[in-house]
Structure 1
Amino acid sequence: MSKGVRLTFMFSGLLLAFILFCYPIALKSENVAKGNIVGFVYDMDGTTPLEGAVVKVKNISTDVVYESTKSDILGIFKIKGLENGVYLYGVMTPNGDFNSDGLVGIRIQGNETAKMSISLTPYEKKVASSMQEFYQEQKIAGEAFIGRIVDYNTDTRMADVFIVKGYLQLKDKIHAKGEETDFYQKVNVLKHEGSTVKKAYAGQTASIGLTERAEIKDSVYVVCKKQFLPLFFSPLGVASIVAGSAAIIYGVTEVDDILTPASAFKK
């Protein structure tokens, strides 16, 4: 066999191997199920449609961001071509932006359309003024100072934390730090004025259960993984899901580390 023929066979073999390697990947990408979301955006009363709003969702695994059409006079919006996954979401309105109050898991079959309605709630002024600084700290350092421990019960390990800025919510990962204190934990108990709450805001004193000993005047920080940073850093308030179909998993507030990409902010 001549040298030219051998080279031709080698090239053909390499080309065939490349095609066989790439074909399953291309076929897999074509078969990824994608669906749509149709829903409503409402003002804070939960019933008044909001016109001109754009809903944004960000897949925390791929960082792909999708934007809806502008909501019409009935508050209706639509997002096309969504893949299954866990998403951050937020809403842009003519008056300002609203971040989600958690994550949402989306399961949509190919070409299926799921339903999702969102209600917007503005922050109180004292909360809104501190949110930009709170989010910027999280973006730069991976955690943000929210307040100090003002009382601590050694028997129950319950600590009262005065929230200086931002907010604290159930399942948040916090960092308690002081002269003799330095530990991380998740917030599994959160109370305000004796009642269990999902969130506590700036200006409030929240009671939380601690896993280790702490001291009065210790600082408390909220830790944020990079992929969970909010969509907007100067929000006017909170966007909350109020209705939807079986394709939407509600109240997803924590995701197993195994299912999410590694983060430089991970502690």
Structure 2
Amino acid sequence: MLKTYLIAGANRGIGLDLVKEILQTETNQVFATVRNVDNVADLKAIGSDKLHIVQCDISSEDSIDECFEQINKLTNSIDVAILSAALMEGDFKGPMELTESRESWNEFKTNSIQAFGVNALSQIYLANKVIPLIEASNEKKLIFVSTGLASLDYTRRAKVAGNVSYSLSKVALSLLAAKYGAQLKPKGVTVLAICPGMVNSRNLTQEQVDMIFGPAIESTRKFNPDFVGVLTCEDACKKFLKAVEF
């Protein structure tokens, strides 16, 4: 029996490698949404007739509507929806540095509004479009992609002060997943927020990995000596799907 996945945000990083991993099983098909269908060379290179690439800018309700008009013509159900599309604002300032100047503060507010809009609010509109298809499926799974930067425990223990805008938006996403779980449990839908770990999702060189992740790795190993470090996208996606396919 054909098993159908939706991967939102599939043009690069975790989303792209999830598509590759899922399509290694012949009985799987994937609807992969991307913001720009003119920039999907890596997806097309997969070369599977069970891959359907659909344009979807999750910051636009019109784009989401058009995306699901296409998807609804091709399938009546989706077994597993993985919402991985997100906006990552890479600031390393801690909260105390955000008011060093009025310019710095205004930049933070702008980044926060954008991050919250994409990483939390848009996820609601997107999820509500896919939920009817999930309810009509056999597995009924809705998966949000979370992050360790949304963990209060990890933030305290690893002393991660930066990425405030992104972290706040992902905390909101984690709570949103819990609220969806509360509402959808009576309908048999499983809702999870899964963190893929510390991942080299942008094909960084080892030097770049050491520079960007080095302090976080060092801090994490102080309270978790068994921490393996930064994962490749491929390894992270295998672990992620193992959690999904419980």
* Fold agreement, TM-score > 0.5: no
Higher strand share: 1
TM-score calculated relative to the size of structure 2: 0.23
Whichever of the two has the greater Rg, that structure is: 1
TM-score calculated relative to the size of structure 1: 0.21
Higher helix share: 2
